[in-house]
Structure 1
Amino acid sequence: MINFKRADHFHICVPPQRLEEAKDFYTNVLGLELIDRPNHLFSSAGYWLNIGNVQLHIGVEPVLPRSIRHTAMEVLNIDTARTHLQDNGVEIVEEPVIPGRERFAFIDPFGNRMELLQMINS
């Protein structure tokens, strides 16, 4: 069983040529707070913003076999969650390492990418 703690973030994609327009919309029109994004960890450009205690991640959609759009949820035990999904034949996708988080994604039976993460106390 997976013990969910909270929604962490959701990731939307925009065309590369409209990334700055998206940043302007979400910060100036909606009034969201721009926060630090570890850009050196990602191969494509993007921005992270706060929406209360959840984050919005905006990225550009690179040419990949599957979309990078996803929803991320924090769990209490990432290892238990991974084992549970693997035991049920769910496809696991490894994610780039982000300091302070253990994470991976999985693909649901309908092709949706979902990320699970656990914050690591340093």
Structure 2
Amino acid sequence: MIRFKRLDHFHVCVPPQRLQEAKNFYADVVGLKLVDRPDHLFSSPGYWFDIGNVQLHIGVEDALLQSIRHTAMEVADKNDAKTHLRQHGVEILPEPVIPGRDRFAFIDPFGNRMELLQIL
């Protein structure tokens, strides 16, 4: 069983040439607060914003076979969640290391990427 705690963040993608436009839209029009993103941990640019106790992550992507768009949910025990999913035949995908978060992803049967994480 997976014990969910909260939604952590959701990730939307924009074309690379429109990243600055997206930053301006979410900061200036929507009014979200820009927060620090550990850019050195990622291979592509992006921005993170606070929305109450959830974050919006904006990244770039051209038309790719598998999208990086995803929703991330905090769980009480990442290992229990991983075991549960594997027992149901779900392939576990590794995620880049972000300090303070132990995480992995999976693709649901409908092509949606989902991230589960445990705050350390």
TM over 0.5: yes
**Aligned residue identity for 1:29:** V
TM superposition outliers: structure 1 runs of 4+ over 3 Å:
62-65
The runs of 5 or more residues in structure 2 that have no matched partner are: none
Which residue of the partner structure matches residue 73 of structure 1? Answer: 73
Length-normalised TM-score, structure 2: 0.97
User: Aligned partners of 1:90 and 1:62: how far apart in 2?
Assistant: 26
Structure 1 residue 91: deviation in Å? 1.5
User: Aligned partners of 2:95 and 2:62: how far apart in 1?
Assistant: 15
For these two proteins, the number of residue pairs brought into alignment is: 120
Q: Percent identity of the aligned residues? A: 73
The runs of 5 or more residues in structure 1 that have no matched partner are: none
**Aligned residue identity for 1:60:** V
Length-normalised TM-score, structure 1: 0.96
Q: Structure 1 residues 62 and 96 mapped into 2: Cα distance closer, same or farther (>3 Å)?
A: farther
Superposed counterparts of 1:1-122, under 5 Å? 1-62=1-62, 64-120=64-120
Structure 1 residue 111: deviation in Å? 1.0
Deviations 1:29-74 (A, max 9, x none): 0110000001011100000000010000000015643100000000
CA contact (8 A) 1:44 1:62 kept: no
Q: Report the aligned-residue RMSD.
A: 0.9
